[in-house]
Amino acid sequence: MFTPHTPKDVEVMLKTIGIEKVEDLFTEIPEKYRFPELKLPLGLTEMEAAEELESIANANGSTKTLLNFIGAGAYDHYVPAVVDMLLRRGEFYTAYTPYQPEISQGTLQAIFEYQSLICELTGMDVANASHYDGATAAAEAVILAYHHFKGKRTKFLLSRAVNPQYREVVRTYMRGNQAVSILGDDPETGIDASMDKLIAQIDAETGLVMVQYPDFFGRVIDYKPLIEAAHNAGALVAVAVNPTALGILTPPGEIGADIVFGEGQPLGIPLSFGGPYLGIFAVTNDLLRKISGRLVGETVDNAGRLAYVLTLTAREQHIRREKASSNICTNQGLMALASTIYLSLLGKKGFEAVSNLCYQKAHYAAAQISAIQGYKQVFSETPFFHEFVIRSPQPAAHLLEDLRAYDILGGYDLSKDYPELDNCLLIAVTEKIAKEDIDLLHDALIEVTHD
Amino acid sequence: MTEPTIFELSSPGRQGVRFPVSDVPEVEVPAEFRRKDLPLPELAEIDVVRHFTRISQKNYAIDLGFYPLGSCTMKYNPKINEETSRLPGFAFTHPLQPEDTVQGNLYLMYTLQEWLKEIAGFAGVSLQPAAGAHGELTGVLIIQKYHADRGDTQRTRILIPDSAHGTNPASSAMSGFEVVHLPSDARGNVDLNALRELCDERLAGLMLTNPNTLGLFDENVTAVIEMVHSAGGLVYGDGANLNALLGIVRPGDLGFDIMHINLHKTFSTPHGGGGPGSGPVAVAPALVEYLPDPVVAIIEPGSEDLPPLYGYAHPAKSIGRVKAFNGHFGMLVRAYTYISMHGKEGLRNIAEKSVLNANYLLAKIKGVYHLPYDRRCMHEFVVEGMWPDAPGIRAFDIAKRLIDYNFHPPTNYFPLIVHEALMIEPTETESLETLDAFADAMLKIAVEARENPDLLHEAPHNAPVGRCDEVRAAKQLILRARKA
Amino acid sequence: MNFPAELKYAQTDEWVRVENGIAIVGISDYAQDALGDVVYFEFSVEAGDQVKAGGQLGQVDSAKASSEVILPVSGVVTEINEAVSDNAEIINNDPYGEAWLVKIKMDNPAELENLLTAEAYQAYRLG
């Protein structure tokens, strides 16, 4: 299978080492614990394993078998065949971190192109080679701001309309730092699109204000007043983005964001039950030295040829050790490559088309559903992208369960994270959803509401 | 040959893929939010395919040859993993689907948790962490909350041996701990006297890699752990080197309290040019309730007719979430596939062959390359890449010359406690012939170092590019492509 | 390698020159040579800060290494050398002149006695 040793090979090797049997290699292991009897099943052949895994996979419903309107941070987009074909080249996926630039130019150039594409998309100056996902990128934004102000600003404001999982991860990351307070996302501050209550909390202690664009509810909010207020107080602003929306919407870099980050999964990465995804992270030139994670830069080799290398490595954990601001030592290499191929292939026109299709279909869906008696679009006065909130006449959990009889995953139940949004559903629509699918959801909602 | 960037290859008007026209009534995007310009490249499908195929060919990879990168466990990545993880039932499931629609995924995660517990000897596992360093952060946060919950807030120090990975101190510092360095003794073990002096009421924990980064199994490991425990501290095991221990010894049995497991090393998930990894964290009974939220559990036991119902459980004292959703699920499917194909005998065979390969290779080059800690190694070993009679030759030069022999260089300049370190981990998937060819190259380079040192200084000679000017890169800081 | 006799040195490779009760601080020729090509310097202090000897003055990065620069004396920072932030290469070119780092109005000039003479520092570094 995966070990090529013949009995004769083993014999030759033992003789060279100067021992009699393989067990002799392990005499330094405390005898009491040596060679435990593991309670595991017997090994399967490839054919058997393939069958078993298929039967496990078949025990799931998926977006291939169910009509899916769940988004809430992960989106079901079409991924062209080219993306996975290229990703599966052994030269990419069986390589490691490009520590040896002479034989890693493929990985390095791909990351360089990834950084460039993310800069263009977000309107920012510099992007790193990626973080683990959108949520951990949010935590890295807070860490960056904390170090940027050398620990002197200790208040970090997160809008309540930032993805609840992002906020949870920020809190976990910062739990060891007693000096820091994470504020702004309490029910009092609320989810009003005006952002007035959040802006009112910005002061001289504030290191960072974090908002999302489109926000967790899909709303497209004008953050210029908030950014101005934050900058006046000397604070940084981080904007979480859905990259798909930036195909048609003004990027945060153009309205003064200091940090733009987000979940890159919509860029050609399968849903895959939540991972592996891609943490996008980009900053202005002013924060270039503060960015954690890998960066690839252009240089030349000893013959003057163009080459790419990992650069500014002195910031990283393997050199700075406990003085490093972050412990990250890899990036999401293969996922960054997937998004690079996806964006190159779709290009200016294709990406704009996907973005616009999402926008159009979501607006049709919102109009259809809010026309049903008893259903109302919440925040209907605020522009939205491809996700919107519907208040239904019954608890969202019941509604979603009823829709399952129609093989529909009707959306995300918001009441769990937002008690003030009882009976509310978050519905996402991507380019994969046809008009008939929306009509099907509409009709199913009418039927389940009769009861 | 230099390959232009995708921006330089762009030609206005090209489009690599088309999408259907909208089938719903058109609405306008509000002008105030409408993007003015979308400066993405424009290429045809064939341009994209050729571009990425061409640059891929400038990479070295496991599929091309031997990759003895110490502490990285660059073993062969089975192709079946890539098939199973892409099954539509896995790849097209949304992480927020109702639990009853994803029983297959939850069963797989639950079973993998159980298997990892059994393999490493622990009581609980979280599959959430995204990578080894992320698992470390998770583990250190667990140590922090465990002491805080007990009112032991004066425990502010984490001890880290000088042979540790750089991520250990960084993870500890991120979690608010003071890092205290712990020296190694003359045999490469933790210095027990130094440890004894640091075992006081300020001790929160010790982060120990075993086998350590010298490839040595700490001969006093149980004494070390006992000393930390009796001072009230916890012992964190860096699982980077678990490959050597599969079916040989369970770290949990040795007394470790927490360990992260690198699925991308030990359990064959691909390294992907630097990620995605996957770093599940395993813990002893007292720490199960501190694991990240949520874990997968059996919610309703099964019966003769029905399988159990799997779902999410929320550990009572959890440190919270460390990542969105369910961890790197795609990597979990690969690791599950790999473990299911090995079973208990197969896993022990992995460890045995990885240690056999390392000791064989060591026997072949020892004497020509100085071995600073002359002991039997586990799955990897560290030699010095320098000789008194070859002044000017450094580990770096040897590493670069290996490229000319079509091998990936070993890890160099790490661990920091060895001068001009070359850290070599062959893994179990390499054959006798491959090991012999690598040993021959190492021996030839040792001769070249004396006879023709410039050959080494100027290496590599036949790679896509030569040695790169890293100072220039750091000074000019060109971090994005120029527009065509 | 240059070890100007009129300066005092810390074992962590900083130098101090005293002018009118103000301590001017930089890093030594030995330190810049050991770091290699310096690409970046970041100050941890700003003008007006009350600082203590042993605290962090800044961080110096070369292409391959990163090192903390330590404050050799306590006092109030009166000036930092922005030229180093703008162009860190000058640390390699002129470590004792153009690349001074901070000026400190000393609280306790007696702290200077904890520092090494040029001769002692040279012996310490070059044996």
Alpha-carbon distance A157 to B47, whole Å? Answer: 45
CATH architecture of A82-341: 3-Layer(aba) Sandwich (3.40)
Residues B399-430: tens digit of each pLDDT:
999 999 999 999 987 777 788 999 999 999 99
Alpha-carbon distance A417 to A412, whole Å? Answer: 10
Chains touching chain C, criterion 3+ CB pairs below 8 Å = A, B
From chain B, the residues in CB contact with C39 under 8 A are: 471, 474-475
Alpha-carbon distance B341 to C25, whole Å? Answer: 63
Residues A14-53: tens digit of each pLDDT:
999 999 999 999 999 999 999 999 999 999 999 999 999 9
In this predicted structure, what is the pLDDT of residue A271? Answer: 98
Collapse the DSSP code of B382 into the 3-class scheme (helix H, G, I; strand E, B; otherwise coil) and give the result: strand
- Report DSSP state, residue B308: P
Task: Show which of residues 53-82 on chain C sit within 8 Å of chain A, judged by CB atoms.
Answer: 59, 61-66, 68
Which residues neighbour B56 within 8 Å (Cβ) at sequence distance 6 or greater?
A: A86, A89, A91, A92, A106
Structure tokens at A366: 């919102």
Alpha-carbon distance B384 to B398, whole Å? Answer: 10
- Report DSSP state, residue B4: P
DSSP A282-318: EE-GGGGGG--S--EEEEEBTTS-EEEEE--GGGSHH
In this predicted structure, what is the pLDDT of residue B163? Answer: 80
Q: Which residue of C has its CA nearest to A317?
A: C66
Per-residue buried b or exposed e for B136-167, using 16+ beta carbons within 10 Å of the residue's own CB: bbbbbbbbbbbbeeeebeebebbbbbebbbbb
Give the gap in angstroms from C-alpha B477 to the nearest C-alpha of chain C: 10
- The CATH code of the domain that includes C47 is 2.40.50.100
Identify the residue among B475, B476, B477, B478 best suited for mutation to test binding to C, counting C beta carbons within 10 A and taking the highest. B475
Q: What is the largest CA-CA distance in chain B?
A: 80
Evaluate whether residue C94 is within a structural domain. yes
Residues A145-159: tens digit of each pLDDT:
999 998 899 999 999
Alpha-carbon distance A62 to A68, whole Å? Answer: 8
Per-residue buried b or exposed e for B99-125, using 16+ beta carbons within 10 Å of the residue's own CB: eebbbbbbbbbbbbbebbbbbbbbebb
Q: Look-up: residue for tokens 């520590």?
A: A99
Q: Which residue of C has its CA nearest to B471?
A: C63
Alpha-carbon distance A238 to A358, whole Å? Answer: 25
Do residues B81 and A117 make contact, with C-beta atoms less than 8 angstroms apart?
A: no
Q: Which residue of C has its CA nearest to B476?
A: C39
Query: Mean of the pLDDT values across residues A363-367?
Result: 98
Collapse the DSSP code of B77 into the 3-class scheme (helix H, G, I; strand E, B; otherwise coil) and give the result: coil
Do residues B96 and B102 make contact, with C-beta atoms less than 8 angstroms apart?
A: no
Do residues A219 and A392 make contact, with C-beta atoms less than 8 angstroms apart?
A: no
Do residues B178 and B157 make contact, with C-beta atoms less than 8 angstroms apart?
A: yes
Pick from C37, C38, C32, C36: which is nearest to C14 by CA?
C32
From chain A, the residues in CB contact with C62 under 8 A are: 314
With vertex at residue A14, the alpha carbon angle to CA A12 and CA A20, rounded to the nearest 5 degrees, is 125
Report residue A51: phi and psi, to 5°: -65, -45
Rounded to 10 degrees, the C-alpha dihedral A356/A358/A360/A363 comes to -140
C37 — contact with chain A (CB < 8 Å)? no
Residues B337-372: tens digit of each pLDDT:
999 999 989 999 999 999 999 999 999 999 999 999
The answer to whether B474 contacts C36, with C-beta atoms less than 8 Å apart, is: no
Tell me which residue in B94, B275, B347 faces A70 most closely, judged by beta carbons.
B94
Side chain identity, residue B66: F
The answer to whether B473 contacts C64, with C-beta atoms less than 8 Å apart, is: no
Q: Look-up: residue for tokens 């924060």?
A: A287
Is the model's pLDDT at B377 over the cut of 80?
A: yes
The answer to whether C89 contacts B473, with C-beta atoms less than 8 Å apart, is: no
pLDDT, greater one: B483 or A435: A435
A377 — contact with chain B (CB < 8 Å)? no
Where in chain B is CATH 3.40.640.10?
Answer: 81-341
Do residues B188 and B214 make contact, with C-beta atoms less than 8 angstroms apart?
A: yes
Side chain identity, residue A280: I
In this predicted structure, what is the pLDDT of residue A214? Answer: 98
Chains touching chain B, criterion 3+ CB pairs below 8 Å = A, C
B63: Cα separation from own chain's centroid: 18
Pick from A409, A278, C82: which is nearest to B101 by CA?
A409
From chain B, the residues in CB contact with C61 under 8 A are: 474
The answer to whether A347 contacts B363, with C-beta atoms less than 8 Å apart, is: no
Structure tokens at C22: 């103000």
Pick from A186, A193, A149: which is nearest to A167 by CA?
A186
Do residues A276 and B331 make contact, with C-beta atoms less than 8 angstroms apart?
A: yes
In this predicted structure, what is the pLDDT of residue A320? Answer: 67
Tell me which residue in B103, B217, B329 faces A59 most closely, judged by beta carbons.
B103
Do residues A149 and A156 make contact, with C-beta atoms less than 8 angstroms apart?
A: no
Identify the residue among B174, B221, B236 best suited for mutation to test binding to A, counting A beta carbons within 10 A and taking the highest. B174
Q: Which residues of C touch B (CB under 8 A)?
A: 36-37, 39-40, 61-64, 89
A313 — contact with chain C (CB < 8 Å)? yes
In this predicted structure, what is the pLDDT of residue A451? Answer: 53
Is the model's pLDDT at B484 over the cut of 70?
A: no
From chain C, the residues in CB contact with A315 under 8 A are: 61, 66
Report residue A398: phi and psi, to 5°: -65, -45
Query: Mean of the pLDDT values across residues A260-284?
Result: 98
The answer to whether C40 contacts A289, with C-beta atoms less than 8 Å apart, is: yes
Cβ-based contacts under 8 A for chains B and C: 16
Handedness of CA A305, A308, A312, A316 (dihedral sign): negative
Q: Where does residue A132 fall: left (phi above 0), alpha (psi -120 to 50 degrees), or beta otherwise? A: alpha
Pairing of strands B157-161, A424-428: unpaired
Is the model's pLDDT at B140 over the cut of 90?
A: yes
Residues A230-256: tens digit of each pLDDT:
999 999 999 999 999 999 999 999 999
A317 — contact with chain C (CB < 8 Å)? no
Give the gap in angstroms from C-alpha C74 to the nearest C-alpha of chain B: 24
**Average pLDDT value for chain B:** 95
Cβ-based contacts under 8 A for chains A and C: 25
Evaluate whether residue C72 is within a structural domain. yes
- Report DSSP state, residue A253: G
DSSP H helices in C1-127 = 29-35, 82-86, 90-93, 118-126
C40 — contact with chain A (CB < 8 Å)? yes
Q: Which residue of C has its CA nearest to A312?
A: C63
Alpha-carbon distance A339 to C5, whole Å? Answer: 59
In this predicted structure, what is the pLDDT of residue B379? Answer: 96
From chain C, the residues in CB contact with A320 under 8 A are: 66
Q: What CATH number labels B81-341?
A: 3.40.640.10
Alpha-carbon distance A195 to A215, whole Å? Answer: 12
In this predicted structure, what is the pLDDT of residue C125? Answer: 87
Q: Which residue of A has its CA nearest to C65?
A: A314
With vertex at residue B281, the alpha carbon angle to CA B280 and CA B287, rounded to the nearest 5 degrees, is 155
A392 — contact with chain B (CB < 8 Å)? no
Share above pLDDT 70 across residues of chain A, in percent, rounded to a whole number: 98
In this predicted structure, what is the pLDDT of residue B380? Answer: 95
A247 — contact with chain B (CB < 8 Å)? yes
Structure tokens at A438: 């929306």
From chain C, the residues in CB contact with A144 under 8 A are: none
- Report DSSP state, residue A149: T
From chain C, the residues in CB contact with B473 under 8 A are: 63
The answer to whether C64 contacts A319, with C-beta atoms less than 8 Å apart, is: yes
Q: Which residues of B touch C (CB under 8 A)?
A: 470-471, 473-475
Q: Look-up: residue for tokens 């699918």?
A: A437
Exposed, middle or buried, B235 (CB in 10 Å: 0-12/13-18/19+)? buried
The continuous run of DSSP H or E covering B107 comes out as helix B103-120
Report residue A121: phi and psi, to 5°: -70, -40
Question: Would you say how long chain C is, in residues?
Answer: 127
The answer to whether B475 contacts C37, with C-beta atoms less than 8 Å apart, is: yes
From chain B, the residues in CB contact with C40 under 8 A are: 474
Q: Which residue of A has its CA nearest to B276?
A: A332
The answer to whether A319 contacts C65, with C-beta atoms less than 8 Å apart, is: yes
The answer to whether C65 contacts A312, with C-beta atoms less than 8 Å apart, is: no
The answer to whether C61 contacts A314, with C-beta atoms less than 8 Å apart, is: yes
Alpha-carbon distance A306 to A176, whole Å? Answer: 44
Chains touching chain A, criterion 3+ CB pairs below 8 Å = B, C
Give the gap in angstroms from C-alpha A108 to the nearest C-alpha of chain C: 18
Class of domain A67-78+347-450: alpha beta
In this predicted structure, what is the pLDDT of residue C110? Answer: 92
In this predicted structure, what is the pLDDT of residue B139? Answer: 96
A312 — contact with chain C (CB < 8 Å)? yes
State how far the alpha carbon of B193 is from the alpha carbons of A88, B185, B199, B224, B227, in Å: 51, 9, 10, 10, 11
Alpha-carbon distance B372 to B377, whole Å? Answer: 12
In this predicted structure, what is the pLDDT of residue A368? Answer: 98
Alpha-carbon distance B312 to B110, whole Å? Answer: 10
The answer to whether A96 contacts B90, with C-beta atoms less than 8 Å apart, is: no
Report residue B132: phi and psi, to 5°: -60, -50
Share above pLDDT 70 across residues of chain B, in percent, rounded to a whole number: 100
Q: How many domains does chain C have?
A: 1
Delimit the domains of chain A by residue range: 7-58, 67-78+347-450, 82-341
The model's confidence at residue A319, banded by pLDDT at 50, 70 and 90, is: low
Cβ-based contacts under 8 A for chains A and B: 662
pLDDT in tens, chain C (127 residues): 899 999 999 999 999 999 988 999 999 999 998 888 898 898 989 999 999 999 999 989 887 777 889 999 999 999 999 999 889 999 999 999 999 999 999 999 999 999 999 999 999 988 7
Alpha-carbon distance A307 to B317, whole Å? Answer: 50
Residues B192-215: tens digit of each pLDDT:
999 999 999 999 999 999 998 889
State how far the alpha carbon of C30 is from the alpha carbons of A230, B413, C14, C92, C123, in Å: 44, 22, 10, 10, 12
E runs forming strands in A81-130: 126-127
Do residues B189 and B225 make contact, with C-beta atoms less than 8 angstroms apart?
A: no
In this predicted structure, what is the pLDDT of residue C64? Answer: 72
In this predicted structure, what is the pLDDT of residue A324? Answer: 73
Alpha-carbon distance A116 to A126, whole Å? Answer: 8
Is the model's pLDDT at B169 over the cut of 90?
A: no
Alpha-carbon distance A113 to A333, whole Å? Answer: 12
Give the gap in angstroms from C-alpha B460 to the nearest C-alpha of chain C: 20
Pick from C80, C6, C70, C69: which is nearest to C38 by CA?
C69
Identify the residue among C45, C66, C69, C84 best suited for mutation to test binding to A, counting A beta carbons within 10 A and taking the highest. C66
